Chain A
Amino acid sequence: MESYSYVNIFETKGLEYILLICFLLLLIFFVRYIFSSKKKPDESLK
């Protein structure tokens, strides 16, 4: 009877895929963070 063999994430290059997915998700949050800047001082007075 064959035993279970777990996928080795280092051999399958799975780590690179995980990193890439994390990067794409983080990029969305990062861009949203950058563009959610405070208003200009003169605009906030209006």
Chain B
Amino acid sequence: MNKKTIFLNELKRFFKFILQEMKPKGKLLTPFNIISIPIMILGFILIILRFVKGLGYATNLSQEFPWGFWIGFDVVTGVAFAGGAYVITFVVYVMKVEKYHPIVKVTVLNGLLAYMFYAGALVLDLGKPWNIFNPIIGNSFGYNSVLFLVAWHFLLYMATEFLEFSPTIAQWLGWKKLQKILKSLTVGAVIFGITLSMLHQSGLGSLFLMAKSKIHPLWYSEFIPVLFFVSSIFAGLSMVIFEGTISHKVFKDKIDAKHHKAFDEMMIGLARGAAITMFVYYFFKALLFIHEGQWSYLMDSWGILYLIEVIGLVLIPCFMFAYGAKNRSLGIIRTAAILTMIGIILNRLNISIITFNWNIPAVYYPSWMEIVITMMIIFTEIWVFRWIVRRMPVFED
């Protein structure tokens, strides 16, 4: 056979395989599907309406509040939760802690999808979405803007995460030679990815540095970039614990017995990591609070909100992680992970929405369309994640 025939045969096999894989696997009428499908259809229609009729139709954004729920929740919070990918790849490929190897692929997949969907949601929030290419094509680079850094980092990090996950895709397609080549690139991609992550996690915090007069002093600090970076570590770890627990139950048929046994140990190890980083983060917050002499701000409702966030959703889950890790209690660890995730959501929303413009009478609430579109994005990501996990060897070594 000549090369052309081999190539055509391979192409035929590839399309046949893809068509076969497109067929649904698993039950169609599940509670999750029944809830998610109508929301996804409605969200899709609303996205079309948003692009046809403009931002004013779908959102409650205004001159006072140019950034709303899509930026505050989808982009700023979603990217923090995607931090698990760079933490786990660092631990496995750089620190060589093989214990966490079974969850590397699924964590990278989660990170990749989170960036694709949540960072991709940035397009929804742009008045002129076609301008998103400007920092890339050089129409208006804007070197001095933090958004320039964030735009490039998101793009490069998505490509890097795809490269990290690509050996699994090659394995799924049965392309062994390519899989070998892609696998050899993993360590380089991981190191590049960690560098990018550290910079754009803090870069997202840097976006708020110019809003000193608008953000409440309890949340504003020159160290927001550092706080964003440190909090992304335990946000990512909490997400890995939360997502890992769900995946462990939903995809138990895909996980082999060896990994089932190692799962508890991995969760305890992740809880230790989360506890230590939260302890460090809490002292950063305490140090900044004392340094700025912010005692007087604690006397009103903003102060109560701050204490709920810092003590109720950072310090308490930190001790819960520590207690859970010491006593090997997965229930406490899972509860701590959920509390931490709520804390991260509250922190990011406090900075980007809730305390933003705290000193003016105007108030921003997301419209129902903003919420439905956000839910649509989350559900679509879960659908894509489920589709990939059911087909590709994500839980295999």
Chain A positions within 8 Å of B, measured between CB atoms, are 10, 13, 15-16, 19-20, 23, 26-27, 30-31, 33-38, 40
Contacts and interface: CB of A to CB of B under 8 A. Distances in A.
A34 B290 contact: no
Contacts of A31: 276
Contact of A34 (B265, B280, B293, B325): B325
A44 to B, nearest CB: 11
A40 B287 contact: no
B287 to A, nearest CB: 6
21 contacts: A16-B290, A19-B283, A19-B286, A19-B290, A20-B287, A23-B283, A23-B287, A26-B279, A30-B275, A30-B322, A31-B276, A33-B326, A34-B325, A34-B326, A36-B326, A37-B268, A37-B325, A37-B326, A38-B326, A38-B328, A40-B265
A14 to B, nearest CB: 10
Interface of B: 265, 268, 272, 275-276, 279-280, 283, 286-287, 290-291, 293, 322, 325-328
Contacts of A13: 291
Given A30-B322, A34-B276, A34-B322, A16 B287 contact: yes
Given A34-B272, A34-B322, A37-B328, A27 B290 contact: no
Nearest to B286: A19
B287 A19 contact: yes
Interface on chain A toward B: helix, strand, loop, or mixed SS?
A: helix
B286 A30 contact: no
A25 B276 CA distance: 13
Contacts of B326: 33-34, 36-38
A41 to B, nearest CB: 8
Given A34-B322, A37-B328, A38-B326, 10 more contacts: A15-B290, A20-B283, A23-B287, A27-B276, A30-B279, A33-B322, A34-B275, A35-B272, A37-B326, A38-B328
Nearest to A31: B276
B122 to A, nearest CB: 36
B30 to A, nearest CB: 34
A16 B283 CA distance: 10
Contacts of B293: 10
A10 B268 CA distance: 40
A23 B290 CA distance: 14
B355 to A, nearest CB: 24
Contact of B327 (A19, A27, A37): A37
Nearest to B322: A34
Contacts of A33: 322, 326
A10 B272 CA distance: 34
- Which 9 residue pairs of A and B lie closest in terms of their CB atoms, listed nearest first? A23-B283, A37-B326, A34-B322, A34-B272, A34-B325, A15-B290, A30-B279, A16-B291, A38-B328
A19 B293 CA distance: 14
B276 A30 contact: yes
Contacts of A27: 276, 279-280
Nearest to B290: A15
B327 A38 contact: yes
A33 B106 CA distance: 30
A35 B291 CA distance: 32
B268 to A, nearest CB: 7
Contacts of B265: 40
A31 B280 CA distance: 11
Contacts of A35: 272
Contacts of A19: 283, 286-287, 290
A31 B277 CA distance: 11
A34 B275 CA distance: 8
Nearest to A37: B326
Nearest to B261: A42
A36 B275 CA distance: 14
A11 B81 CA distance: 39
Nearest to B264: A40
B288 to A, nearest CB: 10
Contacts of B325: 34, 37
